[in-house]
C-alpha cells in the first residue's frame, strides 16, 4: 500500500512522514493526476447547464489529493532533499506542468466558466464568489485558453521547459552552497569572532571530520564571519565565494539557466499577448504594470541613495581612521557597519544574543499572537516530521476550536536550501459545512545549539523569525470558503504585509519583555538595551533600502527586457544595478545566478513587493501604535479584515476596511528617517 494514497490515519490527519518512502512519490503523483483529471471530466461532462456551483466551486475543490501529495513532496525537496528526491522532482515536475496545461487549456472547461462569467451580474454572488469567478476566468485567459491549437502546444512546451529549468537552477544553488568550505587551522585567523561563532565552526569541522574550524556559505555561518572576522583577506575570500555562487563556468554554473528562463518567460508572455513577462505578472498585482513599479522604485531610490552615499562616506571615514582603508569593498561593509554601530550605540549582536534564546523567541511570537488574536499554542509530540529538528504545535482559539497545526524547522543542514520561508501541507477551506484547518510550516536557518550554548539568535534572526511567523499567521487564521483564495493566496505585493508588520513588535518594550530573557540568569533584557535597539533601528537604513531596490531593479530588468538583446549575464546585471551601486563592482561575482527568489521561488517581477508591502505595514503599524500595540480591537480588525480573508477580495478594499483609509505612501520614509535626511 502507498501511504500517500490512503486516508491519513494520523493525529489531525497530518502527513505520515515516517511511513513515506521515496519510491512512493512518483506512483502517487501519477495516480493523483489521473484522479484529478477524472474530477475535471465530471465537470465538463455534466449535462446540466453551467452554474457557479457545478463549475467554479467544483473546479476549486478538485485535485485535493494531488495538492496534498505535491505539498508533502516539495516541502521535502526544499527542507530535506537528497539526490534521489531531486531526481524524483525532475521526473514529476514535467508531469505537473503538463497537467496544469491540460486544465488551463481545456476548451470545454473554459466554455463552461465563460458561460457563468458572462451572466455574473445576474447571479447575486458574494464578494468571495465574485473574486473566485473573476480570478478563474482571468486565469484561463492569461494561461492560453484563447490561443489556437498550435500556440497551445507551444505553451505546453514552454511551461514544461520552465518547470525543469527552475528545478535545475535551484539544485545548482544548493549544491554550490554545500560545496564551499573555508577551513581555518590557525586560531589567529579567528580574531574578532565571538566565542559562540567559533564554537559553532569547530562543531561543523568535527561533523565534517576536519581539523580546526569550518565556515560555510550557510547564512548563520557566512554572515557572522564577514561581520566580525578581523582577517580582511579571509573576509574577501568567503565574500567572493558567496557572491560568485553558480557563476564559475563549471557544472554548477547557472548563467545558461538564467538566460533560458528569461527567454522562455518572454516567449510565453508574447504568446499570450503581453509586452513582457513583467506586464503579464503585474496585471494581477496591486501595482498593475511595470511603469508603476519602476516609478515606485525610482522614487524610493531618489530619496534613499543620497543618504546611503552619506552613510557610506561616514563608514569609509571610520574605516580609514581605524585601519587606513581608503575604499570600502563589499566584504568590508558588514564588518565596519557593526564596529561603528557598537561605537555609536554601544550595541552589538553579541551583547543581545544571550537575551534571544531561540525557544524563548518562539514563545514570544506565540505570546504576541495570543494577545492580538486570541490564539493558544501547545507543543505536541505525536506528529510525524521530515527531520528530528522539527517541532510541532497545536494551535487553538480561545474557545478551544482547532485553528491549525504548526511545524517549525529552524536549523541548517546539508539537504536544506538556504533562507527562510513559510509554506503549508494543508490549506484551509470550508466544504459541506466543515472548516478544514490548515497545517502550516516555517523553515529557517538559525545557528544550531552547541555543546555549551543553546541556539542564540542575532537581532536580525529574531526579526526573521517574527517575519516568517507573520506569514504563518496568514495561513493559521485563514477563514475562506475556497482553497484557491485561502491564506497567502493573495496578490504578491500584498502577501508581505502580514509578515513585515509582525517584525515591528521586536522593537517594542512591551513585547520584548515577554520573551527577551538572558538564557543563563533569566534577567529581562535591560531597558538601556531596548532603547539602544530602538535608537539603532534606522542605522544604515538608507543603505539597506538601496540594496533592496537593487535586487528589485535587477529583477524588473530581467523581465522587462527582450532577452534577444542580452548576451552576457554579468554585463546585463551590472548595467541593471548601476544606479544602485554603492560598493565597487567585483567582476567575478554575480547574484542573478543564485537569485532563488526570482528564478525558483515565484517572485519574478515581484521582488519589489517587499518594499511595496513595507509602505502598507508602516502605515498599518502606525494604527496599532496610536491605539496600543496589544489593542485587541485593532488586532481583531487586522485578523478579520486581513489575516482571515486571504485573497477573497481586492487587497486595497481589505486594507481600507481595516485602516479606514488608503495607506500613507510616506509612512515608510518617515519611519526610516529618510524624509528628514533628504531635507537636511
How far apart are alpha carbons 361 and 523 in whole angstroms?
15
Measured on CA atoms in the order 96, 97, 98, 101, is the torsion positive or negative?
positive
| Residue 643 burial class via C-beta count within 10 angstroms: exposed 0-12, middle 13-18, buried 19 and up | buried
pLDDT score recorded for residue 290: 98
Measured on CA atoms in the order 671, 675, 679, 680, is the torsion positive or negative?
positive
More confident residue, 72 or 680: 72
For range 40-58, the mean pLDDT: 97
Which of 214, 168, 250, 174 has the alpha carbon at shortest distance from 588?
Answer: 250
Question: Which element (helix H / strand E) includes 425?
Answer: strand 421-426
Return the DSSP state at 456: B
Residues whose CB falls within 8 Å of the CB of residue 497, separated by 6 or more in sequence, listed in order: 613, 616, 617, 620, 642, 655
Whether the predicted pLDDT of 680 surpasses 50: no
Q: Indicate if 468 belongs to the active site.
A: yes
For range 315-344, the mean pLDDT: 96
Q: Are 457 and 361 in contact (CB under 8 A)?
A: yes
| Residue 663 burial class via C-beta count within 10 angstroms: exposed 0-12, middle 13-18, buried 19 and up | buried
Q: Where are the domain boundaries for CATH 1.20.1050.40 in the chain?
A: 3-146
How far apart are alpha carbons 224 and 203 in whole angstroms?
15
Share of the chain above pLDDT 70, in %: 99
Question: Which element (helix H / strand E) includes 69?
Answer: helix 64-79
pLDDT score recorded for residue 108: 96
Q: Are 523 and 517 in contact (CB under 8 A)?
A: yes
Q: Which SS3 state, helix, strand or coil, does residue 214 take?
A: strand
Cα separations (Å) of 158 from 98, 623, 651? 10, 46, 31
Q: Which SS3 state, helix, strand or coil, does residue 679 take?
A: helix
pLDDT band per the 50, 70, 90 thresholds, residue 678:
very low
Residues whose CB falls within 8 Å of the CB of residue 166, separated by 6 or more in sequence, listed in order: 261, 599, 600
Which of 176, 106, 91, 175 has the alpha carbon at shortest distance from 146?
Answer: 106
Q: What is the per-residue pLDDT across 410-464, written as a single tens digit (0 to 9) for each?
A: 999 989 988 899 999 999 999 999 999 999 999 999 988 988 999 999 999 999 9
How far apart are alpha carbons 570 and 249 in whole angstroms?
12
pLDDT score recorded for residue 451: 87
pLDDT band per the 50, 70, 90 thresholds, residue 671:
confident
536: left (phi over 0), alpha (psi -120 to 50) or beta: alpha
Neighbours of 146 (CB within 10 A): 15
pLDDT score recorded for residue 347: 85
pLDDT score recorded for residue 672: 85
Neighbours of 586 (CB within 10 A): 15
Whether the predicted pLDDT of 90 surpasses 50: yes
Q: Which three cell numbers stand for residue 309?
A: 552615499
Phi, then psi, of 238 in degrees rounded to 5: -75, -30
CATH number for region 255-345+541-607: 1.10.1370.10
Share of the chain above pLDDT 90, in %: 92
More confident residue, 664 or 337: 337
Q: Share the mean pLDDT of the chain.
A: 95
How far apart are alpha carbons 264 and 286 in whole angstroms?
25
**Which CATH architecture group holds 3-146?**
Up-down Bundle (1.20)
Q: Which three cell numbers stand for residue 352?
A: 543581545
Q: What is the per-residue pLDDT across 120-159, written as a single tens digit (0 to 9) for each?
A: 999 999 999 999 999 999 999 999 999 999 999 999 999 9
Q: What is the per-residue pLDDT across 479-504, written as a single tens digit (0 to 9) for each?
A: 999 999 999 999 999 999 999 999 99
For range 583-590, the mean pLDDT: 95
Dump strand ranges (E) for 375-416.
375-380, 391-397, 402-409
More confident residue, 307 or 680: 307
Q: What is the per-residue pLDDT across 108-125, written as a single tens digit (0 to 9) for each?
A: 999 999 999 999 999 999
pLDDT score recorded for residue 679: 35
Whether the predicted pLDDT of 226 surpasses 80: yes
For range 307-334, the mean pLDDT: 97
How far apart are alpha carbons 201 and 193 in whole angstroms?
10
pLDDT band per the 50, 70, 90 thresholds, residue 666:
confident
Q: What is the per-residue pLDDT across 275-301, written as a single tens digit (0 to 9) for each?
A: 999 999 999 999 999 999 999 999 999
Q: Are 261 and 600 in contact (CB under 8 A)?
A: no
Report H helices in 423-526: 459-476, 496-503, 509-515
How far apart are alpha carbons 92 and 94 in whole angstroms?
6
Among candidate residues 468, 496, 503, 573, the one labeled active-site is 468
pLDDT score recorded for residue 657: 97
Return the DSSP state at 416: S
Report H helices in 395-458: none
> Which single residue is written with the C-alpha cell 561605537?
343
CATH class of 354-539+610-679: mainly alpha
Instruction: Read off the pTM.
Output: 0.89
Q: Where are the domain boundaries for CATH 1.10.1370.10 in the chain?
A: 255-345+541-607
Q: Which three cell numbers stand for residue 269?
A: 508572455
pLDDT score recorded for residue 676: 53
| Residue 59 burial class via C-beta count within 10 angstroms: exposed 0-12, middle 13-18, buried 19 and up | buried
Amino acid at each position: 500500500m502507498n501511504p500517500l494514497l490512503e486516508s491519513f490515519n494520523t493525529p489531525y490527519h497530518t502527513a505520515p512522514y515516517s511511513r513515506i518512502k521515496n519510491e512512493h512519490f512518483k506512483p502517487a503523483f501519477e495516480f493523483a493526476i489521473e484522479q484529478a483529471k477524472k474530477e475535471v471530466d465530471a465537470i465538463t461532462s455534466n449535462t446540466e447547464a453551467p452554474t457557479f456551483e457545478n463549475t467554479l466551486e467544483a473546479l476549486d475543490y478538485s485535485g485535493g489529493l494531488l495538492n496534498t501529495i505535491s505539498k508533502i513532496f516539495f516541502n521535502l525537496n526544499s527542507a530535506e532533499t537528497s539526490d534521489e528526491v531531486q531526481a524524483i522532482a525532475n521526473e514529476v515536475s514535467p508531469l505537473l506542468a503538463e497537467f496544469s496545461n491540460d486544465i488551463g487549456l481545456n476548451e470545454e472547461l473554459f466554455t463552461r466558466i465563460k458561460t457563468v462569467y458572462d451572466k455574473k451580474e445576474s447571479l447575486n454572488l458574494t464578494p468571495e464568489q465574485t473574486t473566485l469567478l473573476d480570478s478563474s476566468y482571468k486565469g484561463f485567459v492569461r494561461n492560453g485558453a484563447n490561443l489556437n491549437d498550435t500556440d497551445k502546444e507551444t505553451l505546453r512546451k514552454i511551461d514544461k521547459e520552465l518547470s525543469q529549468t527552475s528545478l535545475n537552477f535551484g539544485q545548482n544553488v544548493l549544491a554550490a552552497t554545500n560545496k564551499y568550505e573555508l577551513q581555518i587551522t590557525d586560531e589567529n585567523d579567528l580574531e574578532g569572532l565571538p566565542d559562540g561563532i567559533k564554537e559553532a565552526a569547530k562543531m561543523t569541522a568535527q561533523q565534517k571530520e576536519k581539523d580546526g574550524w569550518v565556515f560555510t556559505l550557510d547564512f548563520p555561518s557566512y554572515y557572522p564571519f564577514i561581520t566580525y572576522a578581523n582577517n580582511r583577506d579571509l573576509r574577501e575570500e568567503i565574500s567572493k565565494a558567496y557572491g560568485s555562487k553558480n557563476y564559475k563556468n563549471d557544472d554548477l554554473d547557472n548563467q545558461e539557466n538564467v538566460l533560458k528562463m528569461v527567454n522562455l518567460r518572454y516567449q510565453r508572455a508574447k504568446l499570450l499577448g503581453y509586452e513582457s513577462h513583467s506586464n503579464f505578472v503585474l496585471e494581477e498585482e496591486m501595482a498593475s504594470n511595470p511603469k508603476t513599479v519602476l516609478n515606485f522604485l525610482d522614487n524610493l531610490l531618489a530619496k534613499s541613495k543620497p543618504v546611503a552615499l552619506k552613510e557610506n562616506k561616514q563608514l569609509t571615514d571610520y574605516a580609514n581612521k581605524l585601519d587606513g582603508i581608503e575604499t570600502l569593498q563589499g566584504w568590508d561593509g558588514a564588518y565596519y557597519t557593526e564596529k561603528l554601530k557598537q561605537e555609536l550605540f554601544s550595541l552589538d549582536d553579541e551583547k543581545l544574543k544571550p537575551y534571544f534564546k531561540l525557544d524563548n523567541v518562539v514563545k514570544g511570537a506565540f505570546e504576541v499572537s495570543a494577545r492580538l488574536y486570541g490564539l493558544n499554542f501547545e507543543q505536541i509530540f505525536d506528529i510525524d516530521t521530515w527531520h528530528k529538528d522539527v517541532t510541532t504545535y497545536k494551535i487553538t482559539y480561545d474557545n478551544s476550536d482547532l485553528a491549525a497545526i504548526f511545524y517549525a524547522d529552524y536549523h541548517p543542514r546539508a539537504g536544506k536550501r538556504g533562507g527562510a520561508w513559510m509554506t503549508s501541507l494543508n490549506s484551509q477551506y470550508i466544504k459541506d459545512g466543515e472548516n478544514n484547518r490548515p497545517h502550516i510550516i516555517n523553515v529557517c536557518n538559525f545557528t544550531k545549539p552547541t555543546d555549551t550554548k543553546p541556539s542564540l539568535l542575532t537581532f536580525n534572526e529574531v526579526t526573521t523569525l517574527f517575519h516568517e511567523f507573520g506569514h504563518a499567521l496568514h495561513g493559521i487564521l485563514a477563514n475562506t470558503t475556497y482553497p484557491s483564495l485561502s491564506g497567502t493566496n493573495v496578490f504578491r505585493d500584498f502577501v508581505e504585509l502580514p509578515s513585515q508588520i509582525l517584525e515591528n513588535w521586536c522593537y517594542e518594550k512591551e513585547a520584548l519583555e515577554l520573551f527577551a530573557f538572558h538564557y543563563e540568569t533569566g534577567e529581562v533584557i535591560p531597558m538601556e538595551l531596548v532603547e539602544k535597539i530602538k535608537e539603532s533601528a534606522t542605522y544604515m537604513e538608507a543603505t539597506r533600502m538601496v540594496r533592496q531596490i537593487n535586487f528589485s531593479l535587477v529583477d524588473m530588468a530581467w523581465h522587462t527586457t527582450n532577452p534577444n538583446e542580452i548576451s552576457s549575464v554579468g554585463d546585463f546585471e551590472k548595467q541593471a544595478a548601476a544606479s544602485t551601486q554603492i560598493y565597487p563592482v567585483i567582476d567575478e561575482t554575480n547574484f542573478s545566478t543564485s537569485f532563488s527568489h526570482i528564478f525558483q521561488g515565484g517572485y519574478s517581477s515581484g521582488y519589489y513587493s517587499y518594499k511595496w508591502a513595507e509602505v502598507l505595514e508602516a502605515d498599518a503599524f502606525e494604527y496599532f501604535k496610536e491605539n496600543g500595540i496589544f489593542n485587541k480591537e485593532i488586532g481583531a480588525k487586522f485578523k478579520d479584515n486581513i489575516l482571515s480573508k486571504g485573497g477573497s477580495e481586492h487587497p486595497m478594499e481589505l486594507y481600507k476596511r481595516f485602516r479606514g483609509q488608503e495607506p500613507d505612501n510616506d509612512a515608510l520614509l518617515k519611519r526610516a528617517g529618510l524624509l528628514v535626511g533628504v531635507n537636511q
